[in-house]
Chains A and B, each alone.
Chain A
């Protein structure tokens, strides 16, 4: 079974721009979660989607948004980028009854 894939792997943007990151979960997994990792901050939860519905949301500003498609693929969008948005963005998927999440390799975003 193919793992979780994320595109692009690396991205450089400038302040004020917007960015869209993509995540394809493991086949059959309907839950997709997004996390932000910055040095010293661990994994900060952004949101979780299940069957195209957002069912959980972390404490991030409204500039961070996401969506999930009918094939369970998910996108995350960050508008009006700030320098502090530079981070590794991780996507994770899991099955319906699973507590274990499977992570993708992440997208490294650098905001200049």
Chain B
């Protein structure tokens, strides 16, 4: 049972435009959400996160939106740059057995075209 889903395996965007990456989840117990970015042959790096008590968090060109009623979050990158081309994973965590249990999505490969 995939509790965190990224339904778009890939996305192509022109440089300078907005990239929107989407993530859906099914477990209402998730209370913290994260986005990671991964380049080939490297480990994922943390990008941005949001707590379930918020609906928006912004960090420079990156903004994460959370819609709890729809169990949906999205990552907006504005403006997109060629260096943003990577695989993006969303992750969600919930308290279980006294610690935060993290579940990752399957990833979306973003290509920013110069």
State whether the Cβ of B43 lies closer than 8 Å to any Cβ in chain A.
yes
Interfacial chain B residues near A102, Cβ < 8 Å: 46
Give the contact stretch, choosing among B54-62, B72-80, B95-103. B95-103
A109 to B44, CA, bound (A): 17
Q: If A56-B101, A100-B34, A100-B49 touch, does A42 touch B106 (CB 8 Å cutoff)?
A: yes
Chain B CB within 8 A of A108 CB:
yes
CB of A15 within 8 Å of the partner chain: no
Q: Which A residue's beta carbon lies closest to that of B44?
A: A103
Other-chain residue from B9, B36, B41, B102 in contact with A99 (beta carbon distance below 8 A):
B102
SS class, residues of chain A in contact with chain B = strand
Give chain A residues whose Cβ lies under 8 Å from the Cβ of B34.
99-100
> Which residue of chain A lies nearest to B96 when distances are taken between CB atoms in the complex?
A56
Is residue A26 within 8 Å, beta carbon to beta carbon, of the partner chain? no
> Which chain B residues lie closer than 8 Å to A105 at the CB level?
41-43
B32 proximal to A (CB < 8 A): yes
In the assembled complex, which residues on chain B have CB atoms less than 8 Å from the CB atom of A56? Answer: 97, 101
In the complex, whether B25 has a CB less than 8 A from a CB of chain A is no
Contact indicator B100/A42 (Cβ below 8 Å): no
Among A4, A31, A40, the residue within 8 A (CB) of B43 is A4
Question: What residues of chain A lie closer than 8 Å to B45, measured between beta carbons?
Answer: 103
Contacts A/B (CB < 8 Å), 21 sampled:
A31-B99, A35-B104, A41-B106, A42-B89, A42-B107, A43-B104, A43-B107, A45-B104, A55-B99, A56-B101, A99-B34, A99-B93, A99-B102, A100-B49, A103-B36, A103-B44, A103-B45, A105-B42, A105-B43, A106-B41, A106-B42
Interface residues of A, Cβ cutoff 8 Å to B: 4, 31, 33, 35, 40-43, 45, 50, 55-56, 90, 92, 98-106, 108
